[in-house]
Chain A
């Protein structure tokens, strides 16, 4: 075990708190220690000496764990305290509401205050007893039978007339007619569409929704555009590999990765890869993987990254005759993985499938920005 491994091992055994938070801390420290070791080696230090120096400079894992555990305990206590305050507030407000209701002054629902949600340079006041959330490129608002989304689109060089309106549109009952119906507008140079979802709510609920929409504010600036790393296949004899990185725009982003037993001849996003398929021998394989994130939609997962021979099919639209295809969609925390494995026949031999699986198992997945 290297000094770096010892630090990580000792830390992992002594950290307390949520599993996810602990894992993130360990991953972060593992990567940073690697960086520090590389830095010392680049300055001419021997590998063993660099490892030892970096581990010594890191300090005693027990001290780091004590600091971390203390923070976790304090955070847990703060959460409990806030929860208690909230419970007392709710109980008090509930009692107050009942009193007001009994005296005919107010309704029970009026006791829950409206609140402002913020994120990605957007803000919106959520009405009393409604719920709202801002995530990457998307605002969700729901209450009183109304469901609305505001989706952001990345502006293009050519002005799209759909976004011509310079203010948030007011909704009418007729706007709740179809899930496809949406109204575009531009604020602070950023493009948005409001989507009112059916069924049709009451006029009173639409009025409340419009007051929330009027509170929608937008700041200009760069809120998206983070580079996205693609998945990668390692170099291996007998495989031709490639990948294309992407950018995380308001709508989401995608990267593509491929590995084929013949030179790859198609554009990264060309599916099926007709030109490569045309040159594929009978025992050949093409693996194509997309990592994608859509701000508003998530792909429904199906199948898995383990290729099942009986699920290889030839019915996909646009697939050349006789070609076998195994597809899967798998969810990760920050993206969806789309897998396409092409075989020259619908019934590939077991060793051909095993070869494809071995290549697929070597796929290295990146981490994308969360949110």
Chain B
């Protein structure tokens, strides 16, 4: 998948991946696996986006320690859930619009 096609929907992907709490690497792995490897973008680019979503109040995070290992765990906030629902609706409208045009061609 071309990088530019993906970048516009990074927020949607991250919010969707964080419907259960995950740390940064967990989010990256989840998106990579769930997309069947199609979204194999540079891992590092996810962190600035996670921090931005947190600053906007769509995610919250905390340090958690498991077996002596620290991880910054993110989870979606209620505001984030509303944003995810809105993104999802937009995405469905967009894909159905594209499909309608492509199918008629």
Per-residue contact bits, chain B 59-98, to A (CB 8 Å; 1 contact, 0 not): 0001111001111100000000000000000000000000
Interface contacts beyond A31-B69, A58-B43, A61-B44: sample of 9 additional A-B pairs, CB < 8 Å, sorted by A: A28-B24, A35-B25, A36-B43, A59-B42, A60-B44, A64-B42, A227-B64, A367-B63, A371-B62
Residue from the list B55, B63, B71 in contact with A75, Cβ < 8 A: B55
A369 within 8 A of B: yes
Chain A nearest CB, measured from B60 CB (Å): 9
Residue from the list A21, A67, A75, A227 in contact with B45, Cβ < 8 A: A67
| Given known contacts A68-B47, A71-B48, A71-B51, A57 and B69 CB-to-CB distance under 8 angstroms | no
Bound-complex Cα distance A128 to B47 (A)? 39
A31 touches B48 (CB 8 A): no
A59 touches B43 (CB 8 A): yes
| Given known contacts A34-B69, A59-B42, A369 and B48 CB-to-CB distance under 8 angstroms | no
Bound-complex Cα distance A19 to B104 (A)? 55
A25 touches B25 (CB 8 A): no
Residue from the list B42, B47, B63, B69 in contact with A25, Cβ < 8 A: B47
Contacts of B24 in A (CB 8 A): 28-29, 32
A21 touches B43 (CB 8 A): no
A147 within 8 A of B: no
B52 within 8 A of A: yes
Residue from the list B45, B64, B71 in contact with A59, Cβ < 8 A: B45
A293 within 8 A of B: no
| Given known contacts A35-B71, A71-B51, A370 and B43 CB-to-CB distance under 8 angstroms | no
Bound-complex Cα distance A232 to B69 (A)? 12
In the complex, 6 of the A-B residue pairs with CB atoms within 8 angstroms, ordered by the A residue number, are: A27-B72, A28-B47, A29-B47, A64-B44, A67-B48, A71-B55
B72 touches A31 (CB 8 A): yes
A59 touches B44 (CB 8 A): yes
Contacts of A71 in B (CB 8 A): 48, 51-52, 55
Chain A nearest CB, measured from B24 CB (Å): 5
Chain A interface size, as a band, is: 35 or more
A239 within 8 A of B: no
Contacts of A35 in B (CB 8 A): 23, 25, 69, 71
Bound-complex Cα distance A1 to B20 (A)? 36
| Given known contacts A59-B42, A229-B65, A367-B70, A32 and B48 CB-to-CB distance under 8 angstroms | no
Residue in chain A with minimal CB distance to B40: A57
A24 within 8 A of B: yes
A31 touches B47 (CB 8 A): no
A159 within 8 A of B: no
Bound-complex Cα distance A25 to B47 (A)? 8
| Given known contacts A35-B25, A370-B62, A232 and B68 CB-to-CB distance under 8 angstroms | yes
Chain A nearest CB, measured from B69 CB (Å): 7
Residue in chain A with minimal CB distance to B65: A229
B25 touches A32 (CB 8 A): yes
A315 within 8 A of B: no
A224 within 8 A of B: no
A366 within 8 A of B: yes
B63 touches A369 (CB 8 A): yes
Bound-complex Cα distance A9 to B29 (A)? 24
Contacts of A33 in B (CB 8 A): 25
Residue from the list B47, B52, B62, B68 in contact with A64, Cβ < 8 A: B47
Chain A nearest CB, measured from B72 CB (Å): 4
A63 within 8 A of B: yes
A368 within 8 A of B: yes
B44 touches A58 (CB 8 A): yes
A368 touches B63 (CB 8 A): yes
Within 8 A of B (CB), among A3-30: 7, 21, 24-25, 27-29
Q: Which of B23, B29, B70 counts the most chain A CB atoms within 10 A? A: B70
Bound-complex Cα distance A27 to B65 (A)? 13
B71 touches A32 (CB 8 A): yes
Chain B nearest CB, measured from A172 CB (Å): 37
A226 within 8 A of B: yes
Within 8 A of B (CB), among A50-100: 57-61, 63-64, 67-68, 70-71, 75
Residue from the list A28, A59, A64 in contact with B72, Cβ < 8 A: A28
B48 touches A68 (CB 8 A): yes
Counting from the closest, the 9 A-B pairs by CB-CB distance are: A59-B42, A64-B44, A32-B25, A229-B65, A367-B63, A369-B62, A67-B48, A28-B72, A68-B48
